Structure 1
Amino acid sequence: MKKISTIYRPFICQIVPKMLSFCTIMAAFALIKLEPGKAFTITNSQSLLLGRQSTNQVMVKKPPKPPDSGTPGGHRTPAITRPEASCPEMEKPLTALFANNGNDLTISQYPTFWFYIPYAPEKISSMEFLLLDARERKTIYHTQVKLTNQPGIIKITIPSESKYALEVDQLYRWRFHLDCKPDTTDDPDLVVNGWVRRVPSSSEVEMGYDEIANLAELHFANPENQDLSKDWANLLESLGFTGLEQEQFVESELITLQN
């Protein structure tokens, strides 16, 4: 075997380590498992193959997350009572029956909202319901509400007219106001409020407005059905409402106001 000429030794000594280094780098990257659209990291063992020990990770940014499709928090019972408010405190307060869990969704263009009213009609000066856009600059629907006989659970369904229809993937704000005596201020005595987002009909909505409304309709249409009564009680318990399972559905009159 011929010896390598001393003339070429310096050149070979320079080029061979570089080739080995390049091969080592390629081998290290071959160990990295890549999946489309996901970040990858270089671990310590792979870093050793690259000729250095490092605790840092090399990251490729993931695609941005899609916009939040949930809902902000609301108030199922009045958060603040004005000092001059005329409504007496009740053991079971004014209550909006919705989950308030960040996923208050509906697939309906014209959803139904449910409320427990603890006061007799003669104790109430006025009640009103408003459906607003997300910025609360535009009123979509505004109605006065009147009890016809006694305290209990009422429902408010958005009228089936195109001008009131909720649009898919849009967020809306709703408010329910109750005054016990007329006064000169613009602030209502009691307020509950929340949010609703309409989603495509193919969406799976867990504990949204529709599930509550569907079971409420069945229960109040068949009050003697023990299975439905049990389901209704279980639903209220899961939502954190206690003491409302025995409350009856009561009729109310809705008087739509011009926007």
Structure 2
Amino acid sequence: MTQIKLYFTTLLFFLSFTGKISYGIDEPSKASSFFQLASNQNFDFDGDGRPGNRKGGASRGNCPATQPPLTALIPQTNLGLTTKEYPTFWFYIPYHSTEIHQAELMLLDENQSPILEKPILVQLSKTPGIISVKLPSTAKPLELEQEYHWFFELVCDSENPSNNHSVHGWIKRVQGSQELNSQLGNNQTEKSYLVYAENGIWYDALTSLIQGMSANPSDSTLSNDWSNFLKSVELEEFIQIPIIDCR
């Protein structure tokens, strides 16, 4: 089966579960997304819910069940904001590369049409951990005020996509306000996550915080904020999980 044929076969499989998406209809979120960082400021990533699934399921094909399972680092609402044309997504991969070699990221527009000619292929690391997947600059940039439906799957069975482990959620690009840009200009790069978090911009806050921890691994404030950040969206089981890929 060719890669592009597999791509659309997988896409049809996903959409058979998600169905037609109605925009503007809120789904109830699971829990409050308020949290308190070490800066003693309160932040909120709660908002309108979207159909999605941030955690993978049971054993399928060559993907045995794990605890924790394949997980997308996103809020319970399944929707996160970004100001970036080419944002970064973060996922927990529970397998060694000797078990599962490859993953794929697909991105659909509001009409559920692919915006990528082919899925982004992700080569997995030798050990389980949290990895990043950045939308490449060769792709079409995200448009302002548009929501996109993304799908991330582990290729457990290249001949039968229904056996692949998968998660899916939403991302929306918003315009950074003049106040936000001013605040970013007045903060050190490793602390910009506080500004993004205060403005409810999930993807940028998460990426900035992880980059800060990578640059300053002994900074206890960043470590504490990482812990509280994950607890705020009920992902505390990943606090001690290694971050394998930080690009």
1:147 and 2:147 matched: no
After superposition, the C-alpha distances for 1:20-74 in whole angstroms (9 at most, x for unaligned) are: xxxxxxxxxxxxxxxxxxxxxxxxxxxxxxxxxxxxxxxxxxxxxxx67956232
Match of 2:86 among 110, 126, 137: 110
2-side partners of 1:102 and 1:126: how far apart?
24
After superposition, the C-alpha distances for 1:89-145 in whole angstroms (9 at most, x for unaligned) are: 112111100114265211111111100111111010431111111232223362111
Query: RCO greater where, 1 or 2, for CA within 8 Å and sep 6 or more?
Result: 2
Aligned residue in 1 for 2:34? none
Say if 1:158 and 1:164, in contact at 8 Å, map to a contact too.
Answer: no
Instruction: Provide the aligned C-alpha RMSD in A.
Output: 2.5
1-side partners of 2:51 and 2:199: how far apart?
17
Say if 1:132 and 1:138, in contact at 8 Å, map to a contact too.
Answer: yes
Aligned residue in 2 for 1:72? 50
Paired residue type of 1:198 = R
Q: Which structure 2 residues correspond to residues 1-259 of structure 1 after superposition, within 5 A?
A: 70=48, 72-78=50-56, 80-81=57-58, 84-101=60-77, 103-140=79-116, 142-161=119-138, 163-180=139-156, 182-202=157-177, 205-251=199-245
In the alignment of these two chains, the number of paired residues is 183
Identity across the alignment (%): 34
The runs of 5 or more residues in structure 2 that have no matched partner are: 1-23, 26-46, 181-197
1-side partners of 2:158 and 2:78: how far apart?
35
SS of corresponding position for 1:184: coil
Q: TM-score, normalised by structure 1?
A: 0.63
SS of corresponding position for 1:154: strand
Say if 1:118 and 1:151, in contact at 8 Å, map to a contact too.
Answer: yes
Residues 1:175 and 1:103: Cα distance change in structure 2 (over 3 Å)? closer
Paired residue type of 1:114 = W
Say if 1:71 and 1:102, in contact at 8 Å, map to a contact too.
Answer: yes
How far the C-alpha of 1:148 sits from its partner, in A, is 3.3
2-side partners of 1:148 and 1:102: how far apart?
25
Q: TM-score, normalised by structure 2?
A: 0.66
Say if 2:62 and 2:99, in contact at 8 Å, map to a contact too.
Answer: no
How far the C-alpha of 1:223 sits from its partner, in A, is 2.0
Paired residue type of 1:150 = T
SS of corresponding position for 2:237: coil
Say if 2:101 and 2:124, in contact at 8 Å, map to a contact too.
Answer: no
1-side partners of 2:215 and 2:92: how far apart?
17
How far the C-alpha of 1:172 sits from its partner, in A, is 0.5
Greater Rg over alpha carbons, structure:
1
Say if 1:105 and 1:205, in contact at 8 Å, map to a contact too.
Answer: no
Aligned residue in 2 for 1:256? none
Say if 1:98 and 1:212, in contact at 8 Å, map to a contact too.
Answer: no
2-side partners of 1:145 and 1:252: how far apart?
14
Aligned residue in 1 for 2:41? none
Structure 1 segments (4+ residues) deviating >3 Å? 67-71
